[in-house]
Structure 1
Amino acid sequence: MKIKEALNFINATTTVRAKVDGDYLNIFSKDMISDNWFLKLNTKAINWDTVLKHWGGLTDVAPEDLARAMDVIQRLLDTPVEERFPEKKYQLVVKRENPFCPKYVSNIITGFDELVFDLSKDEKEARIFSEKKLNQIKEREPSLAPAIDAMKKEVKDDED
């Protein structure tokens, strides 16, 4: 389960709300201010021992909403930390110095003795690369690593 998904599940309840504050997921009563949490989870926590509890913040929380919040926390704890956060995605942009005519990488083709970048003027045709995929390309072609890092433009996703 991703952090954004956990927020959506908890915030869909009637009496409980959640928000991320720095490295923490704070869960609090809908009618209380967000500083008055009753559960606080480090987003990189791996067990219940690290979940902070303040039961005084349970004012006006329906039992079924508390159960849902605790279930969501368990599902987060069951999810490996690296899978809780959306993976960054990138476009590769060439000719950035000319804002009127950027070129976008639509494909990278590597072969035994060739390396080809397909380019497009249309941003809609730009290929979206995950961080993992770009790292694989950089491992296979280490001489490209500085160029790839210079061309990377982060693509914001609706899940962020």
Structure 2
Amino acid sequence: MQIDETVKRLNAVSQSVGAYEYKNEKKILVTWSTFTVLIVPYEAKTMFDCHFVNPHIKLPADVKAQIGGIIGKFLRTPVKERFPEKKYRLRWIDYKQNIGDPFDSPKTYLGRASDDCGGTYWTTYSIDGAETFTESELEQLKKDNTRLAPAIDAMKEPAEDKDDE
């Protein structure tokens, strides 16, 4: 189970349960009624790697069981699979009307579109409609189109999603 999915599931347990991702410190904080009760490092492999805080706080048995199940599933996930894959856009050539023109066109990106017959083709999009690709999707594209592999590497640009902030 990935980190963001773990946080989402923990937040769904109860209105009193909160889970927060601290990316800088590489850990998940689990709270009960605003009090931190558990700290789970991203790299934790067993419950012994987790830090229990505020042991005097009594959680309902069903809440404990649900939190324990979610954290258990997270801990059973190999560490490499916990992190979401980085996403990229394929940056295309920007069109310039005149050399030195201060009003250049906006950045354009390659993406796929469908035609009326069920086929797909490549086209360009602005950043708003740009398709994102994971590293594994780009690797597959390079395997399928070996002659385009250098171009794909040259066009690859990290996609900083607003969700990540």
TM norm structure 1: 0.68
Match of 2:19, SS state, is strand
Is structure 2 residue 127 aligned with structure 1 residue 120? no
Indicate which of 65, 68, 75 corresponds to 2:66: 68
Which residue in the other structure is 2:48 paired with? 49
Aligned mates of 1:29, 1:3 — CA distance in 2: 19
Is residue 90–residue 131 contact of structure 1 (8 Å, CA) maintained in 2? yes
Which residue in 1 is equivalent to 2:11? 11
Tell me the CA shift for residue 154 of structure 1.
Answer: 0.3
| Ranges in structure 2 where 5+ consecutive residues have no aligned partner | 97-103, 113-120
1:73 to partner: Cα distance: 0.8
Structure 1 residue runs of 5 or longer lacking an equivalent are 108-116
Matched, 1:28 2:35: no
Determine what percentage of the aligned residue pairs are the same residue.
Answer: 23
Is the 8 Å Cα contact of residues 18 and 28 (structure 1) preserved in structure 2? yes
Whole-angstrom CA distance in 2 between matches of 1:143 and 1:123 = 22
Q: CA deviation at 1:134?
A: 2.6
Aligned-residue offset at 1:92: 0.9
**RMSD of equivalent CA atoms:** 3.2
Q: Whole-Å Cα distance in 2 between the matches of residues 2 and 88 of structure 1?
A: 13
Aligned length: 144
